[in-house]
Structure 1
Amino acid sequence: MKIAILYSNHTPLLSYNDDWLESFFDIKNIFVKKYNVLELNLFQSQRILFEYDYIVLLHSTNSNSFTLPKLYRLGCLNFRKAKIIYFVGNEYKLMREKINFAKLNHIEYIVSQLPQDTAEWLYEKTNSKIISLPHALNAKVFKSINSFEDRIIDVGNRSYEYPWYLGDVDRVKTLEFLDKLDVNLKLDISTNPLKRFNRQEWANFLNTCKFTIASEAGSSFLERDDKTRKLVNEYIDKNPDITFEKIYEKFFKNYKGESINGKCVSSRHFDAVGTKTCQILLEGRYNDILEPNIHYLELKKDFSNINEVIEKMKNPIHIKEIVDNAYEYVMDNHTHKHRIKYLFSEVMK
């Protein structure tokens, strides 16, 4: 079997792109070659269509825009021998374009980060086979180096505020939780883009943290046509001083459009599991992978259990049980090796 992996240039701050790219080269007895789509010439673009059994389009080729060669974007992918495995990135924006791309090019397999039922709804108007393949642990990079007792930061994180068109401010709520903690705890939290880390720096940072705090990724109001996202962005452009509360009141409180909850587990959740950093996560589904108070400390969105969470943070025996449970479970079931094995088991059916 011969596989061509197509990817695009991406910021080193989004290290999951590297995780997925590297994971395909761990497959034994299969020829795999990678191509940066921004460097493909016309001859290479044509040759790939017929030389390989499968063409994998990774998230970076379509996350914020399509970076594929013009030849591919205009429908020439239809003239191919290879079957296409299409990893869709950022499944909360440009969904009309991403869905139409799959339909225009008769894509055989759509790989989604979303839970299977959510992905089936999102892509139901394509004829593609839908494969839910959420992020996973890169155990080669994200591993525990420092013991819990030797970590110098009590709660640490790097993040950024999600755009308001997603319909919630869950990430802001995680920051509000920090205001309730003991003032003597050492915190290292930032939403400043200039203070974010590359992959190895992030792994090193997590190894200095006892706890990290996060929420699910994705949209609370996932649409197939991006209608509300565009309206919210236009409204903010015209009203730059608007608050989220007013945005929510106008666009989401009495929402009557066609949408579904598009929240999902993210790569950062698995990164923390690998470094044995205890996670405090806002309540959510997390693709039905991570279980509350078994793999992480669950914080209710209304903070109704905040005192309980704070008390659990003071119990090192309980915290060790949480991080060990999460680590053993993920190592046994949710590494990139597991994901790639599952992907091809579905493709070969």
Structure 2
Amino acid sequence: MSEIEDDPQEPPIWATEKPFDVVLLHNTLFCLRWTGSYFYRIKKRLDWIRRLNCLKIAIPQDEGDHAELLDEWLFDWGISAIFSIHQPEGTGPLYPVMRDKAKFYGVLPGYIDDEIASDVAQKILPISKRNVDIVYRARRLPYWFGVAGQIKHQIADVVSSRGRIQGLRCDISTQPEDVILGNSWLEFLASSRGVIGSEGGSNVIDWRGEVQTQINAFLEGQPDLTYEEISAKMPQDWDSYTFLTITPRNFEAVITKTCQLLIEGQYKGILEPNVHYIPLKKDFSNLDDALEMLKDDNLVESIVEQAYQDIYINGQYTYRRLAALIEQAIYDPALPYSFGDQMKQIAEIDNPSAILERQLVAERHAKELLNAKLKISEHQNLQLQQENSQLRNVISSPVVRWGLRLLKKPLLSSGLVAAMMGIVILLGIAFSVLYTMFLN
């Protein structure tokens, strides 16, 4: 507990040299909310960001995962603009605290990089010259991602089996050792006529990690439970949300002119079935027909060319669009500390009623912030209790007791070996406990 209660650190030297005008906070920071009690430690050490008097823009992802922690975090740090994938208008079940305290901008989880697309364009082969028919890489997501997470490996299993029966050349895997990264991924895509996929996202809101905790508890006693068996034990409609979206993978397939065979979905209204991709039913009832379509060179060429023109050449889905939204927020007079707001304050200097209104808003915000911090403190204590309980369970296990008995033996000949074995056992268990606590 002492680490959590330490005074927040001062900002690094580079952060004090000049005042900030704008701070962009990305999901690579916000994913720390998934790290258990470590989250509170690192958040405390970064408290200097909260104290910055400037425009703060948040760009989170996976917004339904530990959604309440994210909502409280954004409020605590005084975020003025939220670039949201799943709640672009600020209405809906997410962000109950922030929905009327920040301005929301609808964004995508990724965009097309013009430089990468231009480089890839020099290497694209005609469909008839590609040496693989279907490629795919994904991982088997935990059950707490909901049914949308399970479809990602189900499509791999079904298409891999059926594709080979039809004589198609498939390179499909969900195994961690088969992962492909960086430029090699784009080369992998460009080597194939087609790629399978589904919408990104989740069907679950896990407010503070309780869904993950509950599912892990079920699996601890019965590790072979299927998703359907787990779902039957969960509250009704626990995975009934639709936080689904187009993904960067869809854009990567577009720029490599690889035909997409996708589970039917909305894809943010960007991809249209039978225009930009070959649709697959969720029960795979039309899979044979879809695979036959993939064999038609002329049809596949027309689909990938249409997608290339409508989605890439059109220019709406490149990073220029995200940059334009950021610029829009920076000059928005409705956002505190924005350039637009600063101009508005200059105009209000001779308007006492406007100044009084700002003071009242600040007082109300301070009260709400205090209430949020009390709620966060309660969750910290609960998290630490859970981790202490895990530690007690491991310490009281027969394996640990055996290791301790080995340590008590005299450090002579076989006794030395026994003691060393005991140390190794205890170190291994200690590492496992810390690793489990970090992940949970």
Query: Same fold by TM-score, threshold 0.5 exceeded?
Result: yes
What CA distance in whole angstroms lies between the structure 2 residues aligned with 1:94 and 1:45?
Answer: 31
Does 1:153 find its partner at 2:123? no
Counterpart of 1:128 in structure 2 is: 102
Aligned partner of 2:73 in structure 1 is 101
Corresponding residue number in structure 2 for 1:30:
none
Matched, 1:298 2:279: yes
Q: Secondary structure at the match of 2:12?
A: helix
1:124-154 residue CA offsets vs partner (Å, 9 max, x unmatched) = 4211212221111223224342221221111
Unaligned runs of 5+ in 1: 1-39
Which structure: greater helix fraction?
2
**Is 1:262 paired with 2:243?**
yes
CA distance in 1, matches of 2:144, 2:66: 13
- TM-score under structure 1 normalisation? 0.79
Deviates more, 1:89-98 or 1:195-204: 89-98
Other-structure match for 2:141? 162
Give the aligned partner of residue 24 of structure 2.
Answer: 56
What is residue 171 of structure 1 aligned with on the other side?
A: 152
How many residues of Structure 1 are paired with residues of Structure 2 in the alignment? Answer: 307
Gaps of 5+ in 2: 1-8, 333-440
CA-based RMSD of the aligned residues comes to 2.7
Q: Report how far residue 298 of structure 1 moved.
A: 1.1
Larger radius of gyration: 2
- Alignment partner, residue 253 of structure 2: 272
Secondary structure, aligned partner of 1:111: strand
**Deviations 1:136-192 (CA, angstroms, capped at 9, x unpaired):** 122322434222122111101111112111121111231113322253211111112
Identity %: 24
Separation in 1, partners of 2:41, 2:10: 8
Equivalent residue of 1:181, what SS? helix
The answer to whether the 8 A contact 1:160-1:193 is kept is yes
Q: Which has the higher strand share?
A: 1
Q: Which residue type is aligned with residue 77 of structure 1?
A: I
Q: What is the CA distance between 1:42 and its match in structure 2?
A: 3.3
Q: 2:11 aligns with which of 32, 36, 42?
A: 42
Q: Is the 8 A contact 1:119 1:130 kept in 2?
A: no
Partner of 1:79: 51
Name the counterpart of 1:32.
none
1:187-225 CA distances to partner (integer Å, 9 max, x unpaired)? 111112222122211011111111000111211123444
Compared CA separation, residues 249 and 292, structure 1 to 2 (3 A) = same
The reply to whether residue 137 of structure 1 matches residue 106 of structure 2 is no
Matching of residue 231 in structure 1 with residue 202 in structure 2: no
**Deviation string for 1:5-59 (max 9, x for gaps)?**
xxxxxxxxxxxxxxxxxxxxxxxxxxxxxxxxxxx983337527x6221111122
* Matching of residues 186-201 of structure 1 within 5 Å: 186-201=169-184
Summarize the Cα distance change of 1:47–1:258 in structure 2 as closer, same or farther, 3 Å threshold. farther
Equivalent pair of 1:119/1:132 in contact (CA under 8 Å)? no
Question: For the residues of structure 2 that align with 1:347 and 1:232, how far apart are their CA atoms?
Answer: 42
